[in-house]
Amino acid sequence: MKLTAEKSVFQIPQAEKYLHALLPRLQEKRAQSFTTIILTLITLSFFGIFAISPTLSTIADLQKQISDSQFVNQQLRQKIINLSQLETSYKSIQKDLPVIFAAVPINPDVTVLVGQLQTLVQNSGVALLHIQTLPVDVSTHTTAQNSSFVFAVDVSGTYQHCKSFLDAITNFNRLVTIDAVSLTRPSATEDLYNLSLRGNAYFLSQQ
């Protein structure tokens, strides 16, 4: 028992010396491990930024494209709605278009107007004395405000017939304006009058 105790007492200082010698190495290895971990994290962060940056840029571009596409889609939907409403409006007035085009034709249609005036003369019971149309200006300067030409008509008949002809002109299916009207009675003994009128007939300008 004595020998064992002496041996144990002898070994304790040796162990302490071993631990004192080993401790700096452990601390050094621990420091190296921390340094390695820190450097690894810094390296991963550095390369991670370069790896993630293009991805973030791509995501931003995709988001912008999606936003633009949504805006275009919204505009197209609104355009479709407007076209649908326009089609509905067109269908509602389609039956009236022939009357509109007859009232304001695309071309001057001077010969058509002369024929229509002659028909009004016959239907009213007056006699046609004179009909004239002035030259039509279809130059490039023609606008919607001056797309018209002048016509003049002289007829003869009873007061009632002249009044009927004048009413027919004012209710003409073509858009015309009467600028001047004169009614004279050549003979005081006869119920016969001369009616002269001057007006403008309108048409749509193609310029």
Examine the domain organization and report whether 74 and 128 are in the same domain.
no
Q: Domain boundary residue among 97, 120, 144?
A: 97
Examine the domain organization and report whether 23 and 62 are in the same domain.
yes
Distance of CA 183 to the CA centre of its chain: 53
Q: What is the CATH number of the domain that holds 192?
A: 3.30.70.60
Examine the domain organization and report whether 119 and 196 are in the same domain.
yes
Q: What pLDDT, on the 0 to 100 scale, is given for residue 95?
A: 77
Q: What's the chain's Rg over C-alpha atoms? A: 52
Residue 67 belongs to some domain of the structure: yes
Examine the domain organization and report whether 89 and 39 are in the same domain.
yes
Residue 111 belongs to some domain of the structure: yes
Q: To the nearest 10°, the Cα dihedral for 15, 20, 22, 24?
A: 170
Domain extent, residue 82, equals: 1-97
Residue 129 belongs to some domain of the structure: yes
**Which of helix, strand or coil describes residue 168?**
helix
Please choose, from the candidates 178, 125, 183, the residue with its C-alpha nearest in 3D space to the C-alpha of residue 154.
183
Q: What pLDDT, on the 0 to 100 scale, is given for residue 9?
A: 46
pLDDT digits (tens, 9 = 90+) for 21-69: 555 655 566 656 666 777 676 766 666 666 666 666 777 788 888 888 8
pLDDT digits (tens, 9 = 90+) for 118-174: 999 999 999 999 999 988 765 644 444 558 899 999 999 999 999 999 999 988 888
Can you say whether the dihedral through the CA atoms of 162, 163, 165, 166 is positive or negative? Answer: positive
Q: What pLDDT, on the 0 to 100 scale, is given for residue 10?
A: 47
- Judge if pTM exceeds 0.85: no
Structural domain total, the chain: 2
Please choose, from the candidates 46, 41, 18, the residue with its C-alpha nearest in 3D space to the C-alpha of residue 33.
41
Can you say whether the dihedral through the CA atoms of 162, 164, 166, 168 is positive or negative? Answer: negative
Examine the domain organization and report whether 157 and 194 are in the same domain.
yes
Examine the domain organization and report whether 52 and 123 are in the same domain.
no
Q: Domain boundary residue among 97, 113, 141?
A: 97
Q: List own/partner pairs for 1-9 with CB under 8 A and 24 or more apart.
A: none
Examine the domain organization and report whether 125 and 93 are in the same domain.
no
Query: What is the secondary structure of 145-177 as a DSSP string?
Result: TS-EEEEEEEEEE-HHHHHHHHHHHHT-SS-EE
Q: Domain boundary residue among 97, 113, 139?
A: 97
Residue 207 belongs to some domain of the structure: no
Examine the domain organization and report whether 108 and 179 are in the same domain.
yes
Q: What six digits make up the tokens of 124?
A: 């009213």
Under the banding of pLDDT at 50, 70 and 90, the label for residue 193 is very high
Examine the domain organization and report whether 2 and 93 are in the same domain.
yes
The answer to whether residue 18 scores a pLDDT higher than 60 is: no
Please choose, from the candidates 171, 131, 136, the residue with its C-alpha nearest in 3D space to the C-alpha of residue 155.
131
